[in-house]
Amino acid sequence: MAASLKRKGWKLYTLLSDIKSVSLNSQAVPGIAENFPCRHSSSQKHADSADYCVDLVRKNDYENFLCCLLLPKRLRPAGFAIKAFNVEIAQVRDVVSDKYRGIMRMQFWKDALDNIFKGNPPHAPVALELAKVIEKHKLNKIWFTRLMEARAEQLEADGFRSVKAVEDYGENTVSTVLYLLLQCAGIKNIHADHVASHLGRAQGIVTLLRATPYHSSKKRVYLPVELLIKHGVSEESVIRGQQEKPLKDLVFDLASVAHHHLLTARNMKKDVPKEAIPIFLNSLICDQYLKKLQLADFSIFDKSLQKKNGLLPWQLFIQKMKRTY
């Protein structure tokens, strides 16, 4: 027993050391060709592109950064490359000043993806790293196309018409990333695919709920129109941050759908290969938010929901050691 605890303690120490090392040593490299001049060796370019992907995920998606660190060592480069690509296209809507610029940026990535699969990736760090991962794991282009098309559609849309639209968006984005990681791990299992589908839908809904205070601060509302109508909630009341009962009821309905998908995914754990468990660690993040939301009486603007969880690295590590999601 003591020896087992010592081994777990050493693994936790190693994880925390990795987090500290990556946080201190990774430097942001602007994603343009000029930062990778021809005088650099090929190995230096690859090292730079890998570091850039790690740093991009750490700065923009810290929770998934932690989840990537807990992947088996052989899968970490793939995890960071795929999630860095996801970050690049996911943040387009927030970093461009108008839809036209966003469409142009999406077109750049569409062209980049085409060139990657032709064996001629552009000299941008995420593209270079993604090309290595695609070649190594023989990844299917259809998943990347699906991910990009879903992001592009939301760029041009004003929000979601229905709860199903939110679920489908989670399937086409979050689940797609999980499918790619399963492919990288060489896992071909229908139960693992079903878990990925349900977790993606759950996380898609949770992400929408978590982002609502930010969206409202930008005078945007992406909550499903069908629920706004059902509960008599105006977009103006959401923008103002009002926490009246109709909005709480709306949030409860949406959170209940996410909770259903999370439970469905967890109920299939016994049929999922153990090698797939680390890929699904993000379920803990969904679960924690939904529990905090319940404690806040589904007041989506409650300040307790915006607090960072300093214990998350330990909690994810324990989840991994328990071989559960």
How far, CA to CA in Å, does 66 sit from each of 55, 76, 200, 282, 285?
Answer: 12, 11, 18, 9, 11
Q: Which amino acid is at 234?
A: S
Q: What is the pLDDT along the chain (325 residues), one digit of tens a residue?
A: 444 444 545 555 455 555 544 443 433 333 322 222 333 344 455 568 999 999 999 999 999 999 999 999 999 999 999 999 999 999 998 777 778 888 899 999 999 999 999 999 999 999 999 999 999 999 999 999 999 999 999 888 878 999 999 999 999 999 999 999 999 999 999 999 999 999 999 999 999 999 999 999 999 999 999 999 999 999 999 999 988 999 999 999 999 999 999 999 999 999 999 999 999 999 999 999 999 999 999 999 999 999 999 999 999 999 999 999 9
242-248 long-range Cβ contacts below 8 angstroms, 24+ apart: 243/299, 243/300, 243/301, 243/302, 247/300, 248/297, 248/298, 248/299, 248/300
**What is the pTM (predicted TM-score) of this model?**
0.86
Confirm whether 133 is domain-assigned. yes
Q: Looking at the 3D structure of the chain, how many domains does it have?
A: 2
Number of neighbours of residue 317 by Cβ within 10 angstroms: 20
Which of 156, 145, 121, 152 minimizes the C-alpha distance to 36? Answer: 121
Which of 251, 252, 264, 255 minimizes the C-alpha distance to 288? Answer: 255
* Same domain for 260 and 214: yes
* Same domain for 211 and 163: yes
Which of 148, 21, 36 minimizes the C-alpha distance to 92? Answer: 148
How far, CA to CA in Å, does 53 sit from each of 22, 26, 46, 192, 282?
Answer: 11, 9, 11, 26, 19
* Same domain for 288 and 169: yes
Confirm whether 145 is domain-assigned. no
CATH number, domain of 169, equals 1.10.600.10
* Same domain for 306 and 176: yes
